[in-house]
């Protein structure tokens, strides 16, 4: 076990622990903050694997923008300080959620584990990443952005519909 | 966004830049003494020798902050066989500056020019009772009293002088030179 | 890299974060005072009040550290550190002199932007954890503003990185030529505006507008924790100023760059910091809707246009 392995294991553990805390804590905003730790840990994992560009983009986009958006949304709600009874779920829900989680995890593991062999990690420098994105993955990438654009337009349409109805009322 | 938006921003920055280049207005008070205007009302000073203990100031004072004690003294006659006269001797003259409201009525009302406004204003105390100042302290402030400002050469003459200079009904009396002591006027 | 070198470099970065913001703050005191016809601090330290901010620091240390009873204690206490530490990292990444930065990493342009993005979380944590309505309103304004201005900021920096063909700050400085001043001008303006908004300084200080929401997210803070927020603000100003100098004004490039490169970098950074101070003195605060309109209808299109312009330039010249 090399130092790099150890670092990867540590960041991985931190990520997993923070992720678990993010879904189990009863403070809504704590959940968002644990999400920050999770995302930072994930960025650390990428960094240990030598993909510093992916790690930085992860921090920039997810911590800098997405989590801020989540926190804005939380502030717009009546997010209380301290645990709140409404945010707890009954035992039935918990069992169901655990089943769904275990099922998804099992599915992913079943797909990924057979392919897991000791493969040398390819250096994921920015040049290599750029070449991959703009040659092999350019169509999926563009398709994804089209999907997001459609979602955005849809959201606008929905928001516009509700306001116009209120206007006629 | 109106069309004045960008010019307005530039103008704001130009104004501040110009202000930075021009001298500041800060009064560095404890280090540099302030330039007070003439007739500043700092504190009331007492010229003790002019005071006749007539009590006019103490009576006029709206909040009764002037304390005067005096006694009468026999003055022997100046000439042989003359009548002995009495005069007032001032024992105590005190102004309580914790009560004084700086109206200046006492200065106005004093017929013998014993009270003056001094521009001195640095006489704060840590205890309110220490603001009662006796005549010794009031006398020290006389040194700060500025000389009265010069009369404006174009100013109208005082009513007394005008009255004295009015020609008599016959019109044959020569007019007196103005702004000179008038013995009749003073005696009146 | 030996342990000694690592610790020396860390100490240098820490010293820069402790000294440069104080210099910027003192400059703000004095420049703002003279722009308003005042003298500013004159006593602390003797000569023209040079030690005013040191004295302020001593005052902050003596003050009581209060945590409100209703606050979310751990988040409340952590927030100042989250606000300040990213700027320590950011300042460590900035190359001051040819081949001289406290920490040299390949993707330093992205890393600086990323840590600044983390730093703004401190404000949000403070706003939410204070259990104070002013702090919450300030936090919401802050979040909305940061969300809007993060995009033009990143886009304008991306344009420079594209023009230089590298993601390293030192590489950008080496690739810089004077005609970038014209070619990259729209991006530079976008960056300056977005950076001012990111720092929540006038005219974008609605989140901490003291006449409206007391002190916004900082309302409940006292003593050293408040001082950390102030330090973070001024450290942010220094980082943004130096970053602007490095990306758009050519960093250490200038006469005698081999010997005086560090001086050129600091001078260019100081120029931008002065400009930010000058703007603060001159302009009124923007309203929340004006902020959003400026970001989405002016800055984002401008940054995208700059990106296209840069792309054309890069394709034509190579």
Nearest Cβ partner for A52 among C106, C115, C129: C106
CA distances from B137 to B46, B61, C60 (A): 9, 20, 44
Q: pLDDT tens digit string along A83-102?
A: 666 666 778 888 898 899 89
CA distance A128 to A142: 19
Q: Categorize the per-residue pLDDT at C9 as very low, low, confident or very high, splitting at 50, 70 and 90.
A: confident
* Beta carbons within 8 Å of C11's beta carbon, 6+ residues apart: none
Q: What is the mean pLDDT of residues C176-202?
A: 89
Contact C269, C245 (CB under 8 A): yes
For position A17, what pLDDT does the model report?
A: 92
Domain count, chain B: 1
Shortest Cα–Cα distance, A43 to chain C (Å): 11
For chain A, what is the mean pLDDT?
A: 81
Instruction: Write down the ipTM of this complex.
Output: 0.79
> Chain A interface, mutation test: which of C71, C111, C124, most A Cβ atoms within 10 Å?
C124
Contact B72, B89 (CB under 8 A): yes
For position C192, what pLDDT does the model report?
A: 92
pLDDT over threshold 80, residue C10: yes
For position C255, what pLDDT does the model report?
A: 83
Chain-chain contact of A126 with C107 (C-beta, under 8 angstroms): yes
pLDDT over threshold 80, residue A26: no
CA distance A144 to A113: 27
For position B178, what pLDDT does the model report?
A: 54
Q: What letters, b where the CB count within 10 A reaches 16 and e where it falls short, cover C164-200?
A: bebbbbbbbbbbbeeebeebbebbbbbbbbbbbbbbb
Q: Is B62 part of a structural domain of the chain?
A: yes
Q: Categorize the per-residue pLDDT at A132 as very low, low, confident or very high, splitting at 50, 70 and 90.
A: confident
pLDDT over threshold 90, residue C110: no
Cα distance between the two ends of chain C:
37
Q: Kindly list the residues from chain A whose CB atom is less than 8 angstroms away from the CB atom of residue C117.
A: 59-60, 63-65
Q: Kindly list the residues from chain C whose CB atom is less than 8 angstroms away from the CB atom of residue B26.
A: 37-39
Q: Kindly list the residues from chain C whose CB atom is less than 8 angstroms away from the CB atom of residue A152.
A: none
Better pLDDT: C188 or A65: C188
Contact B/C (≥3 CB pairs under 8 Å):
yes
Q: What is the mean pLDDT of residues C82-103?
A: 84
Q: Categorize the per-residue pLDDT at A79 as very low, low, confident or very high, splitting at 50, 70 and 90.
A: low
Nearest CA in chain B to C290: B1
pLDDT over threshold 80, residue C162: yes
Please give the full DSSP string across B84-140, using - where no structure is assigned.
-EEEEEEEEEEEETTT-----HHHHH-TTS-EEEE-------SSGGGGEE-HHHHHH
B115-118 and B66-75 strand pairing: unpaired
Contact A71, C124 (CB under 8 A): yes
Q: Is B54 part of a structural domain of the chain?
A: yes
Q: Is B155 part of a structural domain of the chain?
A: no
Chain-chain contact of C282 with B22 (C-beta, under 8 angstroms): no
Long-range contact list for C227-231, CB < 8 A, 24+ apart?
A: C227/C56, C227/C57, C227/C60, C227/C61, C228/C80, C228/C81, C228/C83, C228/C84, C229/C80, C229/C83, C229/C84, C229/C122, C229/C126, C230/C25, C231/C17, C231/C18, C231/C21, C231/C84
For chain C, what is the mean pLDDT?
A: 87
B115-118 and B43-46 strand pairing: antiparallel
CATH classification of the domain holding B78: 3.30.70.3270
For position A82, what pLDDT does the model report?
A: 61
Q: Is B177 part of a structural domain of the chain?
A: no
Q: Taking the model in full, what pTM does it have? A: 0.79
Q: What letters, b where the CB count within 10 A reaches 16 and e where it falls short, cover C53-88?
A: beebbeebeeeeeebbeebbeebbebbbebbbbbbb
Alpha-carbon torsion (C231, C235, C236, C238), positive or negative = positive
Q: What is the mean pLDDT of residues C78-84?
A: 90
Torsions phi, psi for B43 (to 5 deg)? -150, 160
The answer to which of C27-31, C53-57, C129-133, C150-154 has the lowest mean pLDDT is C129-133
Enter the DSSP assignment of B142.
Answer: G
- Give average pLDDT by consecutive 10-residue segment, chain B, 188 residues: 81 90 87 84 91 91 93 87 87 92 92 91 90 91 85 84 80 56 44
CA distance C79 to C122: 5
CA distance C230 to C240: 15
pLDDT over threshold 50, residue C316: yes
Q: Is B135 part of a structural domain of the chain?
A: yes
Q: Where are the domains of chain A?
A: 1-84, 137-169
Domain containing residue B67: 43-144
From 2.40.420.20, 1.20.120.1200, 3.40.1160.10, 3.60.20.10, which CATH number describes the A1-84 domain?
A: 1.20.120.1200
Mapping DSSP onto H, E and C, the string for B31-71 reads: CCCCCCCCCCCCEEEECHHHCCCCCHHHHHCCCCCEEEEEE
Burial class (CB in 10 A: 0-12, 13-18, 19+), A2: exposed
For position B106, what pLDDT does the model report?
A: 92
> Which residues share a beta bridge with B133?
B95
Please give the full DSSP string across chain A, using - where no structure is assigned.
--HHHHHHHHHHHHHHHHHHHHHH-S-HHHHHHHHHHHHHHHHHHHHHTT-HHHHHHIIIIIIIIIHHHHHHHHHHTTPPSS--GGG---HHHHHHHHHHHHHHHHHHHHHHGGG----PPPP--HHHHHHHHHTTTHHHHHHHHHHHHHHHHHHHHHHHHHHHHHHH-
Enter the DSSP assignment of C120.
Answer: H
- Between CA A38 and CA A44, with CA A39 as vertex, the angle to 5 degrees is 95
Q: What is the mean pLDDT of residues A30-46?
A: 88
Shortest Cα–Cα distance, C283 to chain B (Å): 7
Q: What is the mean pLDDT of residues A96-123?
A: 82
Angle at which helix C185-198 crosses helix C300-317, to 10 degrees, equals 140
Nearest to C19 by CA among C102, C91, C107: C91
């Amino acid at each position: 076990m090399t130092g790099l392995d150890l670092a990867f294991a540590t960041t991985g553990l931190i990520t997993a622990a923070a992720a678990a805390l993010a879904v189990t804590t009863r403070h809504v905003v704590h959940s968002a903050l644990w999400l920050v730790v999770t995302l930072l840990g994930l960025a650390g994992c990428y960094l240990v694997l030598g993909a510093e560009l992916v790690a930085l983009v992860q921090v920039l986009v997810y911590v800098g923008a997405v989590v801020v958006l989540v926190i804005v949304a939380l502030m717009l709600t009546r997010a209380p300080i301290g645990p709140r009874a409404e945010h707890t779920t009954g035992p039935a829900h918990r069992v169901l959620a655990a089943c769904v989680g275990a099922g998804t995890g099992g599915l992913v593991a079943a797909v990924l584990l057979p392919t897991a062999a000791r493969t040398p990690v390819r250096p994921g420098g920015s040049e290599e990443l750029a070449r991959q994105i703009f040659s092999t993955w350019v169509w999926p990438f563009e398709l994804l952005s089209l999907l997001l654009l459609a979602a955005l337009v849809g959201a606008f349409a929905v928001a516009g519909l509700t306001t116009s109805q209120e206007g006629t009322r | 966004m109106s069309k004045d938006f960008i010019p307005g921003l530039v103008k704001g920055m130009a104004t501040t830049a110009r202000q930075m280049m021009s001298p500041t207005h800060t009064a560095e008070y404890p280090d540099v003494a302030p330039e007070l205007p003439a007739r500043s009302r700092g504190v009331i000073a007492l010229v003790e020798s002019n005071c006749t203990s007539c009590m006019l100031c103490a009576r006029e004072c709206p909040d009764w902050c002037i304390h005067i004690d005096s006694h009468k003294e026999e003055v022997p006659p100046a000439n042989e066989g003359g009548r002995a006269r009495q005069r007032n001797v001032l024992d105590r003259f005190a102004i309580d500056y914790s009560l004084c409201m700086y109206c200046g009525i006492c200065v106005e009302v004093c017929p013998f020019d014993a009270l003056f406004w001094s521009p001195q204003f640095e006489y704060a105390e840590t205890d309110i009772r220490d603001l009662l100042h006796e005549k010794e302290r009031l006398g020290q402030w006389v040194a700060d009293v500025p000389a009265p400002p010069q009369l404006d050469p174009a100013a109208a003459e005082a009513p007394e002088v005008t009255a004295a200079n009015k020609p008599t009904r016959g019109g044959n009396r020569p007019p007196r030179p103005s702004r000179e002591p008038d013995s009749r006027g003073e005696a009146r | 890299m030996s342990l000694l070198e690592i610790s020396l470099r860390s100490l240098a970065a820490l010293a820069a974060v402790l000294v440069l913001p104080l210099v910027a703050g003192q400059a703000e005191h004095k420049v703002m005072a003279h722009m308003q016809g005042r003298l500013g601090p004159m006593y602390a330290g003797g000569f023209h009040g040079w030690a005013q901010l040191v004295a302020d620091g001593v005052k902050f240390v003596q003050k009581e550290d209060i945590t409100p009873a209703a606050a979310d204690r751990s988040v409340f206490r952590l927030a100042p550190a989250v606000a300040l530490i990213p700027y320590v990292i950011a300042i460590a990444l900035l190359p001051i002199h040819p081949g001289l930065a406290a920490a040299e990493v390949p993707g330093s342009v992205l890393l600086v932007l990323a840590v600044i993005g983390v730093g703004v979380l401190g404000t949000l944590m403070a706003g939410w954890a204070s259990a104070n309505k002013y702090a919450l309103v300030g936090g919401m304004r802050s979040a909305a503003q940061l969300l809007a201005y993060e995009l033009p900021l990143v886009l304008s920096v991306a344009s420079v990185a594209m023009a230089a063909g590298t993601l390293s700050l030192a590489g950008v400085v080496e690739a810089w030529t004077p005609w970038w001043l014209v070619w990259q001008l729209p991006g530079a303006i976008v960056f300056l505006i977005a950076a001012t908004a990111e720092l929540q300084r006038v005219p974008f200080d609605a989140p901490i507008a003291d006449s409206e929401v007391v002190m916004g997210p900082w309302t409940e803070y006292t003593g050293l924790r408040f001082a950390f927020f102030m330090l973070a603000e001024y450290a942010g100003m220094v980082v943004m100023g130096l970053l602007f100098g490095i990306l758009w004004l050519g960093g250490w490039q200038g006469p005698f760059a081999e010997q005086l490169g560090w001086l050129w970098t600091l001078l260019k950074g100081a120029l931008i910091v002065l400009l930010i101070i000058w703007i603060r003195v001159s302009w009124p605060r923007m309203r929340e809707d004006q902020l959003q309109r400026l970001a989405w209808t002016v800055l984002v299109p401008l940054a995208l246009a700059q990106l296209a312009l840069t792309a054309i330039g890069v394709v034509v010249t190579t």
